[in-house]
């Protein structure tokens, strides 16, 4: 029987990182924060890189943090990364929010929080439109490129629906890796290595 041992060789997919792309961790990354993570790149410049981990929910809701939302249905918060964990970030699809940073077609980062607050308190739909994160992930100049060369990350694209779908976040890593096809799809089925909490 002829087997292809290369299928088990982890290697980058040679895509250049840029704002709006996602980082997909390689399947054997043994790290509590970044193992099996999908990170949306919100900035990638000569000064460094910033991203938000999309699929690591916190045991915390916006209602727990900001009491003005106590009468609103629970709004989950995700762990955006290990840096500035006392800072709230939000991704949204609301194009009229002033001072928002456009990340990709139809989705934005932060902006006028008062407008976001009004939108929520008026009873508008939040699911699929706004996601909240505490902290962010960051890399210094060339640090991310070095990690990509070391085959820690693959780079993919994600449509706005999957990025904003909180219910799909438990399967986001598997789906994002599987969408790359070929050996990447095979890797997406490998069992997860447990991490120590």
Tell me what the mean pLDDT of segment 75-89 comes to.
Answer: 96
pTM for the full predicted model:
0.90
How confident is the model at residue 140, as a pLDDT?
A: 94
Tell me what the mean pLDDT of segment 67-81 comes to.
Answer: 92
Superfamily of domain 21-187: VC0467-like (3.40.1740.10)
How confident is the model at residue 117, as a pLDDT?
A: 96
Q: Which residue has the tokens 């997406």?
A: 188
How confident is the model at residue 181, as a pLDDT?
A: 83
Q: Which two tokens stand for residue 183?
A: 């050996």
Average pLDDT of the residues of the chain: 88
pLDDT tens, position by position, 2-21: 444 444 556 666 678 899 99
Q: What percent of the chain has pLDDT over 90?
A: 61
- Show the 3-state SS of the chain: CCCCHHHHCCCCCCCCCCCCCEEEECCCCCCCCCCCCEEEEEEEECCEEEEEECCCEEEEEHHHHCHHHCCCCCCEEEECCCEEEEEEEEEECCCCCCCCEEEECCEEECCCHHHHHHHHHCCCCCCCCEEEEEEEEEEECCHHHHHHHCCCEEEECCCHHHHHCHHHHHHHHHHHHHCCCHHHHHHCCCCCCCCCC
pLDDT tens, position by position, 18-58: 999 999 998 888 888 999 999 999 999 989 999 999 999 99
pLDDT tens, position by position, 83-142: 999 999 999 999 999 999 999 989 999 999 999 999 999 999 999 999 999 999 999 988
């Amino acid at each position: 029987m002829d087997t292809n041992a290369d299928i088990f060789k982890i290697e980058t997919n040679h895509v250049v990182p840029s704002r709006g792309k996602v980082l997909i961790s390689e399947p054997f990354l043994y790290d509590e924060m970044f193992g099996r993570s999908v990170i949306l790149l919100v900035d990638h410049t000569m000064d460094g890189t910033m991203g938000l981990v999309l699929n690591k929910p916190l045991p915390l809701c916006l209602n727990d943090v900001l009491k003005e939302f106590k009468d609103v249905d629970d709004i989950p918060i995700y762990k955006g990364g290990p840096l500035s964990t006392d800072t709230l970030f939000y991704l949204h699809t609301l194009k009229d929010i002033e001072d928002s940073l456009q990340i990709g077609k139809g989705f934005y980062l932060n902006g006028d929080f008062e407008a976001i607050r009004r939108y929520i308190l008026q009873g508008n739909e939040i699911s699929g439109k706004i996601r909240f994160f505490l902290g962010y992930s960051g890399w210094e100049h060339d640090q991310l490129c070095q990690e990509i060369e070391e085959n820690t990350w693959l780079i993919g694209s994600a449509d706005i629906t999957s990025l904003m779908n909180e219910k799909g976040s438990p399967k986001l890593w598997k789906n994002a890796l599987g969408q790359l096809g070929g050996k990447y799809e095979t890797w997406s089925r490998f069992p997860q290595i447990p991490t120590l909490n």
